[in-house]
């Protein structure tokens, strides 16, 4: 990087930063609500989770939001549900105002939220221990029946217009991020955490090199021969 500046990548999906924002309720009464916020590495600032949920073009491709949504799904889903409920109420009031003679021109919003039908998916709530059947009579009235009741009606001579077998109980839920994307983001985060832990372990276990001991001086043979002889040796040599 120019100037030796290294970009810092923050991982804030593990903690939700509550942020108090002021909102106007019915009759202009002010009330405060705690919102979930997370750091956006793409744009480099903190964002409201509602913005990531309904307005961001990278919602289904962002690993940070995928992990944040997996950890705070109930809170984010509640924000999205309240937002679209408020929009429906606001649109109803806008239509009534536009129909009145004193209706004013509507200003289009700058950011367009995602359509609600793109954020909702059918998910399996539970597998049925015993299959049930949907009995549709000639008047197109549907009933959910067990196997025994279907057979008893057949014995009485009743005929169904349609019979459908039900083996799963489903529910409608928000799915802001595909489940496969969340699992992929989890695997990526686990690999990054493992690598970071390995780097910390290497730095902790690295030992400085042992100091080399200073060698003890040893007299050489030439130095010993050149050294002066003791007094007794000189006296004997003189005799």
DSSP state of 191: H
Q: Express each pLDDT in 153-209 by its tens digit.
A: 999 999 999 999 988 888 888 889 988 899 999 999 999 999 998 888 888 776 777
**Are residues 32 and 22 in contact, defined by beta-carbon separation less than 8 angstroms?**
yes
Handedness of CA 83, 87, 88, 90 (dihedral sign): positive
Among 60, 33, 36, 67, smallest CA distance to 50 is for 36
pLDDT at residue 211 greater than cutoff 80 = no
Query: Taking phi first (over 0 means left), then psi (-120 to 50 degrees means alpha), and beta for anything else, what does residue 4 get?
Result: left
> Would you tell me how many other CB atoms lie within 10 Å of the CB of residue 165?
10
Place of tokens 């730095």: 203
The pLDDT value given to residue 17: 47
Among 50, 43, 53, smallest CA distance to 19 is for 50
Query: Would you place residue 9 in the very low, low, confident or very high pLDDT band (cuts 50, 70, 90)?
Result: very low
């Amino acid at each position: 990087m120019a100037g030796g500046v290294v970009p810092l990548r923050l991982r804030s999906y593990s903690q939700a930063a509550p942020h108090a924002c002021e909102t106007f309720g019915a009759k202009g009464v002010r009330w405060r609500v705690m919102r979930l916020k997370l750091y956006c590495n793409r744009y480099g600032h903190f964002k409201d989770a509602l913005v990531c949920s309904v307005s961001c073009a990278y919602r289904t491709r962002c690993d940070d939001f995928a992990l944040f949504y997996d950890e705070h799904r109930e809170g984010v889903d509640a924000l999205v549900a309240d937002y679209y409920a408020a929009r429906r109420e606001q649109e109803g009031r806008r239509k009534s105002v536009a129909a009145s003679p004193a209706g004013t021109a509507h200003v289009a919003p700058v950011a367009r939220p995602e359509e609600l039908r793109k954020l909702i998916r059918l998910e399996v709530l539970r597998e049925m221990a015993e299959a049930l059947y949907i009995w549709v009579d000639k008047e197109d009235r549907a009933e959910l029946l067990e196997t025994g009741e279907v057979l008893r009606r057949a014995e009485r001579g009743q005929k169904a217009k349609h019979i459908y077998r039900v083996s799963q109980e489903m529910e409608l839920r928000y799915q802001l991020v595909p489940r496969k994307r969340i699992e992929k983001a989890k695997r990526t985060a686990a690999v990054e955490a493992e690598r970071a832990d390995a780097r910390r372990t290497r730095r902790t276990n690295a030992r400085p090199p042992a100091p080399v001991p200073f060698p003890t001086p040893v007299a050489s043979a030439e130095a010993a021969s050149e050294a002066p002889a003791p007094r007794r040796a000189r006296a004997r040599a003189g005799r």
